[in-house]
A and B are shown apart, each in its own frame.
Chain A
Amino acid sequence: MPSPLLADTAGEKLLLLGNEAIVRGALEGGVGFVSCYPGTPSSEVPDTFFRLSREGDYYFEYSTNEKVALEVGAGAALAGVPTLVTMKHVGVNVAADPLLTLSYITAPGGLVLLSADDPGCHSSQNEQDNRHYARLAGLPCFEPATAQECKDMTRDALHLATRTGQPVLLRTTTRVNHVRGPVKMGSLPKEKPYKPFERKLSQFVPIPAHSRVHHRQLLDRLEAIGHEAERSPWNKVSGAGDMGVVASGISRCYLADALHEEGMEGQVKVLDLGFSYPMPDELILEFVKGLKTLLVLEELDPLVENHIRALLQRHGVELTVLGKGDTLPLWGEYSTDLARQALRSAMGRQARTVDHCAPQQGLAMRPPNLCAGCSHRASYFTVREVFGDGAFYSSDIGCYTLGLLPPLSAADFLVCMGSSISTGSGFATASGRPTIGFIGDSTFFHSGVTGLINAVYNNHDILVVILDNRTTAMTGHQPHPGVDHTAIGPNERPVEIEPLVRACGVQHVKTLSPLNHKAAKKALEEMKALSGPRVIIFRDPCVIHERRTSGKPKSQVATVAETTAGCLDVLSSLACPAFLKDGGAVRVDEEMCSGCMFCLQLDKSFKAKKRGA
């Protein structure tokens, strides 16, 4: 049976994750090419395309990074195929270079860029507002708020992109990507729109003489698209009264629920901005007629608010505009409660009082933790054993960032994806202190390799430890160029990391398993005695991924024969989550233990036994 996402069952209602609904919307919009770099909260979009790729009529790839994903997608859209490119918000920073010129030369086949923002930093290093990219690059922008809108707006965004050639930004936020709700299916196109490439130097080759023209053409296109935004069903007016609220993104949901809870449904005029850039100026000017107060609800930056303030000033409209301020912050997520407070304050009502028990302080935390048997734990343990606090640790983006917590304490600083080698190089050069850069295998291919080339060229004194667990574990075990299999078949030509490192000009390179403690320690000590750029590749598969693909756990587990001082030492220095302190005694939880047998090499109190025995 084909997946319901691929079935042509118009009218049927499915319960979908926002990210799954985006997939269906793209299919309804005729998508033929999908590229991405995974990143939460966007990951389930490409993962769903990947899962369906054997049955679906589209090309799919995990690209090495977001810039590459957008460039590959741009090529496909230039060749005339409707294209979706997906990434998380910080990924767009990586892709910004091609993005800002692609919007000049256009993508005639149609290209939609999904940028999944993360207000509240649920899984990200910052909470930037990527609606700025719509303004910066000149991209029409859609902001869905429900699962149904995720589907419908993706379809409409793709149609707009195909019709105008202008790349379109589909901007979601974590809550929207991970909402689950009913979605009524639309029909799938019988034939995909396809526009064969026609050579036109003046259009597609942005030399300065052409680009000057391109910029003005872009502004003309945006103006024309702005007229569509004026009439778009995604920009809706409802309610009545002399107070108005303009809301975008998920704030539209918070507003609707807040109006209900405050008993104010229908008594306030509401402008729902779903197609939020270019802004529908005429609609807004019409909307504000007769209003005394206008409240703007939008998470993160006051883009809509400032635009409206300028618009009202330009047209001489006198109106009290309320927005970012005491109740509505420039950071974090909004909520129904926040929307209620803002409404009450705008209406001159008293603030709501807190009506719940205080969050309990001082409870034991459950910080995200490296899994039991994770090879990164062994790598960090041995690196710290050899280098201790005398060295500085440059970290990177991935599961292994979780090595930051004590007792491993393997992260002193981190800038962005792929930065560990280059930032570590700069730190080592400036401080003259021993510096170790940690980077994962997928991250190395993403953008670490350029930092390594730089370290060789400039002879930076850095030890790079590549933590190669044979997958992109953090975002859900996506494959990358270095692994020998994808889920749909073998990868005939995996890119081997060690020869690549050597080809970059690194002379001291060693690959070994971090689970062999003695050999790992020896290799680290040898590297410690050397200087210049040098690399250790700690290679051992992600324990969760290996178990999932092989289907069975390892046959042995660790057990504690007798709780000795050495055993307690290992408990506190390795802190494997499978260890359990029960009164004075240490135990190993057999369910949790992966059978990596690293602890056996650290102290004789740990013994091997057969699983289940």
Chain B
Amino acid sequence: MQRTRIFFTGVGGQGTLTATKLVSLTALDEGLPVTSGEIHGMAQRGGVVESTVLIGYLSPKITHGEADVLLGFELLETLRALCYVKPGGKLLSNSEALPPLSVATGKADYPSLESVRAKAQAVASQAWFLPCRTLAEKAGSAQSANTVLLGAACAAHALPFGMEALERSVRKYLKPALAEINLKALALGAEAVRG
């Protein structure tokens, strides 16, 4: 078994924790020794949400330079969490932005996709940036942007299990009404990586 640390980051309301739970449940169903961590605190809607999935470790925490994989559900948050990535790790990120209040009110700047890509490529061995929300809308619901990224991560061999296991989990753990949309979202994410 390959020990793996996966770091998730996103913005409250994006389904970051749902994605984390889905990965953990799939790992458990695959018989892998999984531990996951999440910090709920004052993260109200619109605050930063960070969580972890670890395979083969006891601790649920990931510190700087320890993550084999970074999954960024929002571009600015990907950049903020870049220091968690182990040199040579993998990175998958949403390329689309959710501007924080200071940006929305014109008091702060938002980094360009190109600048984040350049910084990510300097650390990670492989980095993918996908328009998750746009692909999710194509799948049938903007809410499934989180599964778009999971599909992409799976196709990039960044998760400790294959696409079939992930599809099984989507059918098993998501509400039946949402399963079809999310299966399509997984496929669109995977396709975006495979190009």
Apart from A123-B40, A363-B80, A367-B47, 8 more pairs, CB < 8 Å: A174-B39, A182-B28, A356-B85, A356-B87, A359-B64, A366-B77, A368-B44, A581-B105
Whether B21 sits at the interface, judged by CB under 8 Å, is yes
Please determine whether A365 and B86 come into contact, CB atoms closer than 8 angstroms. Answer: no
Interface residue count on the A side (C-beta < 8 Å): 54
Please determine whether A399 and B76 come into contact, CB atoms closer than 8 angstroms. Answer: no
Whether B168 sits at the interface, judged by CB under 8 Å, is no
Whether B59 sits at the interface, judged by CB under 8 Å, is yes
Residue of A nearest to B57 (CB): A257
Q: How far is the CB of A16 from chain B (nearest CB, A)?
A: 10
B38 partner residues in chain A, CB cutoff 8 A: 178, 180
Please determine whether A577 and B41 come into contact, CB atoms closer than 8 angstroms. Answer: no
Given the interface pairs A363-B79, A369-B47, A575-B105, the reply to whether A181 lies near B60 with Cβ below 8 Å is yes
Bound: A15/B101 CA distance, A: 36
Whether A459 sits at the interface, judged by CB under 8 Å, is no
Residue of B nearest to A356 (CB): B65
Residues on A lying within 8 angstroms of B by beta carbon are: 13, 15, 40-41, 122-123, 145-147, 174-175, 178-182, 250, 252-254, 256-257, 333, 335-338, 354-360, 363-371, 399, 402, 474, 544, 571-572, 575, 577, 579-581
Q: How far is the CB of B75 from chain A (nearest CB, A)?
A: 11
Contact partner, A364, options B46, B76, B87, B123, Cβ 8 Å: B76
A399 partner residues in chain B, CB cutoff 8 A: 44
Given the interface pairs A355-B65, A356-B83, A572-B105, the reply to whether A364 lies near B110 with Cβ below 8 Å is yes
Bound: A575/B46 CA distance, A: 14
Whether B66 sits at the interface, judged by CB under 8 Å, is yes
Please determine whether B76 and A580 come into contact, CB atoms closer than 8 angstroms. Answer: no
Whether B34 sits at the interface, judged by CB under 8 Å, is yes
B24 partner residues in chain A, CB cutoff 8 A: 15, 180
B interface, size bucket: 35 or more
Please determine whether B100 and A364 come into contact, CB atoms closer than 8 angstroms. Answer: yes
Bound: A123/B42 CA distance, A: 6
Q: How far is the CB of B88 from chain A (nearest CB, A)?
A: 10
Q: How far is the CB of A575 from chain B (nearest CB, A)?
A: 6
A254 partner residues in chain B, CB cutoff 8 A: 59, 61
Bound: A346/B76 CA distance, A: 39
Bound: A335/B80 CA distance, A: 20
Bound: A64/B110 CA distance, A: 44
Please determine whether A253 and B59 come into contact, CB atoms closer than 8 angstroms. Answer: yes
Q: How far is the CB of A581 from chain B (nearest CB, A)?
A: 4
B44 partner residues in chain A, CB cutoff 8 A: 368-371, 399, 402
A577 partner residues in chain B, CB cutoff 8 A: 46, 101, 104
Given the interface pairs A15-B24, A371-B45, the reply to whether A178 lies near B40 with Cβ below 8 Å is yes
B141 partner residues in chain A, CB cutoff 8 A: none
Residue of B nearest to A405 (CB): B101
Please determine whether A360 and B100 come into contact, CB atoms closer than 8 angstroms. Answer: no
B123 partner residues in chain A, CB cutoff 8 A: 356-357
Contact partner, B86, options A41, A146, A355, A581, Cβ 8 Å: A355
Whether B172 sits at the interface, judged by CB under 8 Å, is no
Residue of B nearest to A336 (CB): B59
Whether B154 sits at the interface, judged by CB under 8 Å, is no
Q: How far is the CB of A595 from chain B (nearest CB, A)?
A: 16
Please list 11 pairs of residues, one from A and one from B, whose beta carbons are closer than 8 Å in the complex, sorted by A's number.
Answer: A123-B41, A180-B21, A180-B24, A181-B34, A250-B59, A253-B58, A338-B63, A359-B82, A360-B82, A364-B76, A371-B45
A355 partner residues in chain B, CB cutoff 8 A: 65, 86-87
Please determine whether B105 and A357 come into contact, CB atoms closer than 8 angstroms. Answer: no
Kindly supply a per-residue 1/0 record for chain B positions 25-46, scoring 1 wherever the CB is within 8 Å of any chain A CB and 0 otherwise: 1001000011111111111111
Contact partner, A179, options B35, B82, B103, B111, Cβ 8 Å: B35
Bound: A579/B107 CA distance, A: 13
Please determine whether A257 and B59 come into contact, CB atoms closer than 8 angstroms. Answer: yes
Residue of B nearest to A571 (CB): B105
A-B pairs, top 8 by smallest CB distance, nearest first, are A356-B65, A123-B41, A364-B108, A180-B36, A122-B41, A253-B58, A253-B59, A581-B106
B103 partner residues in chain A, CB cutoff 8 A: 364
Kindly supply a per-residue 1/0 record for chain B positions 95-126, scoring 1 wherever the CB is within 8 Å of any chain A CB and 0 otherwise: 00001111111101111000000010011000
Whether B129 sits at the interface, judged by CB under 8 Å, is no
Q: How far is the CB of B191 from chain A (nearest CB, A)?
A: 27
Q: How far is the CB of A265 from chain B (nearest CB, A)?
A: 12
Q: How far is the CB of A122 from chain B (nearest CB, A)?
A: 4
Residue of A nearest to B120 (CB): A357
Most buried by A among B39, B42, B80: B42
Please determine whether B46 and A40 come into contact, CB atoms closer than 8 angstroms. Answer: no
Most buried by A among B63, B77, B87: B63
Contact partner, A368, options B35, B42, B60, Cβ 8 Å: B42
Bound: A136/B81 CA distance, A: 41
Whether B8 sits at the interface, judged by CB under 8 Å, is no
Whether B73 sits at the interface, judged by CB under 8 Å, is no
Whether B128 sits at the interface, judged by CB under 8 Å, is no
Contact partner, A402, options B42, B79, B85, B104, Cβ 8 Å: B42
Please determine whether A175 and B60 come into contact, CB atoms closer than 8 angstroms. Answer: yes
Bound: A360/B116 CA distance, A: 11
Bound: A178/B43 CA distance, A: 14
B183 partner residues in chain A, CB cutoff 8 A: none
Given the interface pairs A365-B100, A368-B47, the reply to whether A175 lies near B37 with Cβ below 8 Å is yes
Bound: A175/B24 CA distance, A: 16
Whether B192 sits at the interface, judged by CB under 8 Å, is no
A357 partner residues in chain B, CB cutoff 8 A: 82-83, 85, 119, 122-123
